[in-house]
Amino acid sequence: MLKTRLITALLLVPLVFWGVLGLPNAWFALALGFVVLGAVWELANLCGFGKTWQRLALVVAAMGILVLVYEVRHSTWIMSLVQLLAAGWLINLLLLLSGIIVPRQKNSLRPLFLLTGLVALSGVWVALVRLHDMAGPGPQLMMFFLLLIWVADSGAYFTGRKFGRHKLAPHISPGKTIEGVLGALAGGLLGALVLAGLQWLPIPWWKLVLLCISTVLVSVGGDLWESVLKRERGMKDSGNILPGHGGILDRIDSQIAAGPWFVAGLMSAGVAL
């Protein structure tokens, strides 16, 4: 499994680097939009809309939403919604860790989960499109954000396997441990120190540390959120398009939560987006 994961990652990483650093913002938005639409396809199935025509209809609807959002992406209220979504992801993390939400397998349609997922996917899409379009180091910051989450995920994976003893949220995801989260946070700290050294942003180093560590922490909520969806649907992965990684949602669940938080954090620190 690890070998397959690594091979898939080695094939995808250069493509992602090229897309983020080489494409103009409009083309980047289009490429990221296709990723989001793939995630919507999987989300529909997780929410009980498993028939092909239902999933296609939802993908088309999501496409329409992205087009509308793109047209107003520079509006002030759009970024206010991104900040609101970021706060929602923090609340999501606290609720999932509290034990209040206990997944139970269901075969019925779940339109509320679907609506929440569409809002989340549209929100992270416009947040990252705005980040990429930022004057100056926008594409570089976008790539840094992805690397931050990748390093944190790797830190959580290897630390959890080596030292994992205490379960983080056994009612949702028995495999995740507190030690794994600490490994992820260590990755976040490393990322913050790198970002501070690059001096792309006129922000004190301690604010960058808070931003990166909190981004990694909130990203855990995205992972747990998808785990709830999969457990209630009785599925191990959201799809099988990425060998060793599962589906698109399995690969981007952390970024879905972390993206709005990272962008909102930059705005709170006075960075113009």
Please give the Cα distance from 258 to 254 (Å, whole number): 6
The b/e string for 159-189 (b: 16+ C-beta within 10 A; e otherwise) is: bbeeebeeebbebbbeebbebbbbbbbbbbb
Domain count, the chain: 1
Residue type for position 93: L
- Which whole-number Å values give the CA distances from 190 to 34, 54, 144, 208, in the listed order? 31, 44, 12, 11
Query: How many of the other CB atoms lie within 10 Å of CB of 77?
Result: 8
Closest CA to 85 of 268, 229, 263, 273: 263
Q: Is residue 273 part of a domain?
A: no
State which residues form the domain around 50.
Answer: 2-268
Q: Is residue 113 part of a domain?
A: yes
Radius of gyration from C-alpha coordinates of the chain:
18
Please give the Cα distance from 190 to 182 (Å, whole number): 12
Each of the 273 residues of the chain gets a pLDDT tens digit; together they read: 556 767 777 888 899 999 999 999 999 999 999 999 999 999 999 999 989 999 999 999 999 999 999 999 999 899 999 999 999 999 999 999 998 887 877 777 888 899 999 999 999 999 999 999 999 999 999 999 999 999 999 899 889 988 989 999 988 988 899 999 999 999 999 999 999 999 999 899 999 999 999 999 999 999 999 999 998 888 888 887 876 667 999 999 999 999 999 999 999 998 888
Q: Is residue 119 part of a domain?
A: yes
CB 94, CB 28: distance < 8 Å: no
- Which whole-number Å values give the CA distances from 49 to 38, 72, 95, 114, in the listed order? 14, 29, 26, 9
Please give the Cα distance from 230 to 211 (Å, whole number): 29
